[in-house]
Chain A
Amino acid sequence: MNTKADNADGPEKKGEADVHAAKVRGVGARLGSDVRFSKVWIVPIVALAIGLWMTYSHYSGQGPIIEITFHGGEGIQAGTTKIRHRNVEIGEVLDLRLSEDADEVVLSVRIYPHARHLLSNDSQFWVVRPRIGAGGISGLSTLLSGAYIEMSPGSAADLADTFNGLDAPPVTPLGTPGLRVTLNSASDQALQEGDPVIFQGIKVGTIESTFFDNQKRRSYYDAFIFAPYDELVTENTRFWFNSGLSMELSADGIRFDIASLAAVLTGGVAFEVPDGFPLGEPITDGAFFTIYPRENVIQDFEYDNALTFVILFKGSIRGLRPGAPVEFRGVKIGKVLRWDIDHPEIENLLEPESRIPILIEIVPARLGYEDDFAILDDVEERIGELVSEGLSAGLTAGNMLTGQKFVELRYGGSGAVEMQEFAGYTVIPSVDGQLDQLLANVSNAMRTISDLPLAEVVGSANIALEEMAATLAEFRVLADDIDRIVSNPAADEVMATLNAALQSFQQLASSYAEGSATQVDLQQSLQSLARALQELEPVLRTLRRDPNSIIFGGSEEEDIEPRGERQ
């Protein structure tokens, strides 16, 4: 860069003697000007400065690159697809590639610096594209604009740079105030993601996710209850499947309720605290609830612990179904589980002395015990004691129409137990059920009837009947006599005379009938008589009060004046 040497060396070398003066004078002056840097140097310096500044601002202005994994890359294009939050662009997809095992799509996404702080550990990403669901249609705008990726910022403090994208938009956006509860059910009804949680007809939450546990054979549902409705869920809350349709057959007739069409279509789950229960304590996030199949069974608790017993029945068990209640004085304390006809201990059911074993379940909590596994043995022992005091089981008809039966426990057995255990279960002795007793009574009655001396009775009845026939014959003779009298010709004359008499009487009566001449005359005479009597009345009155007035004339009558009471 030292150009001075090149420029100056030439003239300097040509002859030291004669150039010396010039060197001092002219070249020296030129040297001075050579040392100065050219003004043109400003140009590369400025260019470099601008370049560096632009590079710096470009890279410092670029946000972080994150990776999002999706199951599919439908509608996503590198360089075009944007990341948005509340419809504001916060980044764009740089690259799109398959994961190593080709199961997923990995997106490299540049997030703009102003949205860097939204990349929490729990931020959620999902692709917005047109969707049709029970809740309506969403993402229509992406039909024209193309899909984009929506982000829901997380609330966690830790930032992250790799995320798992969601296949569908989250039912509840992160950070929505409310409460999460876990519902479970083993019924054949199922809930879908996005189904409503209903309280008195109002949608107060949604089902967020569903999960089926193969081991427990139960479905689990995560439900989110929006604030402020989350306060409605308390300890004693019961959830049930809301079908939207209900039919009730009662003394008032048939009642058929249909909720809103949306509720019928989407179903969902409803909750309420059963009548007569206290609300209980507020619950915490993640509480567990069982879903009851119908609203009218929510009063029935579902307990975890139960004891199983076997009842050996001699009689018919027709009408008994698994699930039929086991009752004691009308209180449901358990249910029938199954009957075990194919049990190895039963050789041949047709043997006259064979018994049909019925497996029942008794819930200690329904007897008043705690719902606790630890006390089960004690309870079983106690029931064994009660059996020796006469506790026994019988079949009772629950519904005469359908012939359904249930198991009723009652006292009245002998307390003697033929068999202590059957196939490892404690045996509750059986007594004849009500129906059996009824049948016994009926057969007793029949036997009594068959024992009656019916032949004699019939014989006497025969005699009576014969006598009656004779009496009737006599009566017929009497009737014939009467007939004869009536049909006599003399009787005809009497009848004619009677007729004429009646006719003359009728004429007489009609002459006095209203409007007839006789009657009008009579009425006129009577009216004139009444008038005459009216005119005569004052005279008669005076005469009655003062009989001599007819001769001396009447005295003046004083008008009576009202006066005050005398003091």
Chain B
Amino acid sequence: MTEYTASTALAHGLQGCPVCTSVVSAELSRCERCGETLHAGWSHSIQNAWAWLITSAVLYFPANFLPITYTRVLGKVTESTILGGVVTLWEHGDRPIAMVIFIASILVPLGKMLVLSWMCLSVQFGSRFALTQKTKLYRVTDFVGRWSMIDVFVVGILVALIQLGNVISVRPGLAAIAFAGMVVTTMLASHAFDPRLLWAEDTRNDN
């Protein structure tokens, strides 16, 4: 499928050590020079990526359905979820902000999980479809991950600023923790995923 036929290290029965850059045999599990564990990403990469993905998927539900903040105004407590906040902002006419929060807090984590799942599946099924694009998508996913924490930051700032006891105060909900956990686990998942695996099937077919 690939137009460009690469001469890969594996095709030559070799691999590079990521630490000392020495070229060693592909069969070795440890670098002969520096002792770095080789193929760690190869052996557990997909498994770990899946584990983190599933964790994040599990956390996705409490993050979105449980209240992220408890706002107490004059003794009356209001619970608000992320989606509820988006809807409220949208109804109040703050549509750009609603869009930003909706994209950053709901679409992006979901997209990340879907993209990573797709990549893991395509590795497992040995797909050779759009490898270059997939690699680019992986880079974007990896880069975007940290920005999803914006919601957690907002809650943190609100909780710190608005503390007037019974008059008005904001308390974080369980969803804030779940949401942070979800963002962290998607980041860990994208970190665990070794993009080199995307090219493994291609390499094999080249031979």
- Of all chain A residues, the one with the shortest Cβ separation from B53 is A44
- Closest Cβ of chain B: how far from A5's Cβ, in Å? 9
- Which has the most chain A C-beta neighbours within 10 Å: B48, B50, B51, B207? B51
A33–B40 alpha-carbon span in the complex (Å): 10
B168 contacts A by Cβ under 8 Å: no
Query: Are B207 and A40 within 8 A (Cβ)?
Result: no
- Closest Cβ of chain B: how far from A403's Cβ, in Å? 75
Which of B43, B44, B62 contacts A40, CB < 8 Å? B44
Query: Are A1 and B43 within 8 A (Cβ)?
Result: no
Identify the stretch in B88-96, B129-137, B138-146, B196-204 within 8 Å (CB) of chain A at 4 or more residues: B196-204
- Of all chain A residues, the one with the shortest Cβ separation from B59 is A47
B52 contacts A by Cβ under 8 Å: yes
Interface residues on B, range: 35 or more
- Which has the most chain A C-beta neighbours within 10 Å: B25, B55, B204? B55
- Which has the most chain B C-beta neighbours within 10 Å: A9, A30, A40? A40
Task: Report A237-258 residues with CB < 8 Å from chain B CB.
Answer: none
Interface SS of B by simple majority: helix
Which of B46, B62, B207 contacts A3, CB < 8 Å? B46
Residues of A within 8 A of B172 (CB): none
Identify the stretch in A19-27, A474-482, A484-492 within 8 Å (CB) of chain B at 4 or more residues: A19-27
Query: Are A38 and B11 within 8 A (Cβ)?
Result: no
- Of all chain A residues, the one with the shortest Cβ separation from B54 is A44
Task: Report A291-317 residues with CB < 8 Å from chain B CB.
Answer: none
Which of A2, A10, A43 contacts B200, CB < 8 Å? A10
Residues of A within 8 A of B25 (CB): 22, 26
Residues of B within 8 A of A34 (CB): 43
Which of A7, A37, A47 contacts B58, CB < 8 Å? A47
- Closest Cβ of chain A: how far from B132's Cβ, in Å? 20
A1-B47, A14-B207, A40-B52 as given contacts; A26 in contact with B29, CB under 8 Å: yes
B21 contacts A by Cβ under 8 Å: no
A48 contacts B by Cβ under 8 Å: yes
Query: Are A13 and B204 within 8 A (Cβ)?
Result: yes
A11-B26, A51-B62 as given contacts; A30 in contact with B54, CB under 8 Å: no
A14–B200 alpha-carbon span in the complex (Å): 13
A11–B8 alpha-carbon span in the complex (Å): 12
Query: Are A26 and B27 within 8 A (Cβ)?
Result: yes
Query: Are A43 and B46 within 8 A (Cβ)?
Result: no
- Of all chain A residues, the one with the shortest Cβ separation from B45 is A3
Which of A30, A41, A47 contacts B29, CB < 8 Å? A30
B108 contacts A by Cβ under 8 Å: no
A211–B10 alpha-carbon span in the complex (Å): 97
- Of all chain A residues, the one with the shortest Cβ separation from B13 is A14
Residues of A within 8 A of B48 (CB): 38, 40
Residues of A within 8 A of B126 (CB): 6
Residues of B within 8 A of A2 (CB): 124
- Closest Cβ of chain B: how far from A494's Cβ, in Å? 126
Residues of A within 8 A of B42 (CB): 7
Query: Are B124 and A3 within 8 A (Cβ)?
Result: yes
A54 contacts B by Cβ under 8 Å: yes
A523 contacts B by Cβ under 8 Å: no
User: 10 smallest A-B Cβ distances: which pairs?
Assistant: A26-B27, A44-B54, A40-B51, A44-B55, A38-B47, A40-B48, A47-B58, A38-B44, A22-B27, A47-B55
